[in-house]
Structure 1
Amino acid sequence: MSSITSLYLAHLFIKNIFSKHGLPSSIVSDRGSLFVSSFWTNLCQQLKISRDLSTAYHPETDGQTERVNQILEQYLWMYVSYHQDDWNTWLPLAEFAYNNSDHSSTKQSPFFTVYGRDPHFDSAHITKDTPAGKLSTKIQSVQQDVKRELEVAINRFKRYADKSRASPPVFNPGDMVWLSSKNIKSTRPTKKLSERWLGPFPILKKVSTHAYHLKLPSQWKSIHPVFHISLLEPVKTSTIPNRHQEPPPPIIIEEEEEWEVSQILDSKLKRGKLWYLVEWKGFSQDPERSTWEPTKNLKNCPELVKDFHSLYPDKPGPNSSKA
């Protein structure tokens, strides 16, 4: 999906959804750039389609979506292990098998829910020694494989869900939490526990029993600030005196690294260009890590630039004469 445009997404919607089922009353999706784009938003408004967007990195907008996604993920991984060489060719049959399987909540298959009948699939009269018969036999074999793997995936998910039904932790506004970095790209190639968590960040408000709104750095504008509770850990006060906190790793936002600015220390004009001496968050005890940056690199922290010039009005600024 990352290489298509919002317009192409609309064409896919017309071809695969609207032409076969008509307009839905609502669409449940994640917060991918396509689904929050102005074009897609306006299109849904024009067609009277409600957009139900999930919290960041955890599609639990309606609960059922999250369960189905986990089942399908396990199911497809196991399916691929059986058909590694040509799995994409037979993926439509995997979809067919899923849609033709009864669901525990409705006690009927998605096919029956939509069309009021089960699809016809009779393999009793296949002639196996013809090209058409070989293809039919292959279809039957794939159907048996995916049906078996789907049952395994559903049972595995049910066991996992039963074990994970403990009460989730509760956070209050102002509480400090660590944010899991597993869904946020970082360039630091390490698996150390201390670097798998970002922050800490304060809780602004509780959105639901399983989602919280965090106060994120101003540079992280492209990251939705509401996160599922499974991605959060409470900050525990260290009992070790003078313990050094590992600096946060750089964040990849729109394919570029972003370090969080702690404060502006100085400014200067160099060859007619304005530069700022920047102290980076996590490196306040290491002055050698401060760097001179051009104005364009500080476009995501205008408040800090403004604060600097309020404290030091005589320092070179945006309105200073060129050197």
Structure 2
Amino acid sequence: MDFITQFPLSNSFDSILVVVDRFSKMEIFIPTYGKITALDLAQIFISHLFSKHGLPVSIISDRGSLFFSSFWTQLCQQLKISRDLSTAFHPEMDGKTERVNKILEQYLWIYVSYHQDGWYTWLPLAEFAYNNAEHSSTKQLPFFTIYGRNFSFDSIHISQDSPAGKEIPPDFQPGDKVWLASKNIKTTRPTKKLSERWLGPFEVLKKIGSHAYHLKLPQQWKSVHPVFHVSLLEPVKHSTIPNQHQLPPPPVLVEEQEEWEVAQVLDSKLKRGNLWYLVEWKGFSEDPERTTWEPASNLTNSPDLVKDFHSLYPDKPGPNTSRV
């Protein structure tokens, strides 16, 4: 058992309890709260585990206070469940848990909206996808191990392959395009757990030393140092079809003036008493400059998109918000 915490609120939940069956490698993802009691944990255990899968022989957990509580200890004793408390920073357990957590976070990131508040809806599908993908250690699907048959949804797959040996880092040349890992870059998204894993692409300007590269960053990234270690970079894979390049669309003409087309409104805020919107521009889904804060006066030609945004997020600042 392990908790993934600090998610944006989704259907009142902000955490996920991850339960792993050590025999089949089946995973169970249970939405929950960051601050739950031992009684809450017992109710989750009865509702999601015992009622569907029976009593486990043993439970491995960390040494958190929740699993050390007298209530949880007595419950396990009464049910004759062996409690195996993991050693702090145990490499094997930490590694397995971390891999599962990363796979789950990546799956949710693909499907959640900009505000990341819909992950609760996708959690059951993430569990289904994980349990219907071949596990690297058993070489079969966890679902098949438990039930002796496979689902017919072969298109749902989450790769769990990992490189067997140490990879040789890529050697980039000036002019190459690369993706930049976002883990050290602060963005406007609510949490990094469900945010983009890669930003860019960016142009390589030159190599610095043996393992770092100077990148051409957007002008608004003035506070970000442009030199990055090679471990934070991935090469951009180009289409194998000749002359097939996805170009941003040209600006549209509005009242004889060029205007870029709005794809969607992502957020809103009041700035010095004025209403501003965070806008994603159509055709720039892979461009780091695709989102910009614009005054409401710049969106007069996109009233439907503004209306759609406020329908989804009625609590966000809007035209009728008091300007204090």
TM bucket, shorter chain: 0.3 to 0.5
Answer with 1 or 2: which has the greater Rg: 1
Instruction: Calculate the TM-score normalised by the size of structure 1.
Output: 0.37
Give the number of the structure whose residues are more often strand, by fraction.
Answer: 2
Give the number of the structure whose residues are more often helix, by fraction.
Answer: 1
Instruction: Calculate the TM-score normalised by the size of structure 2.
Output: 0.37
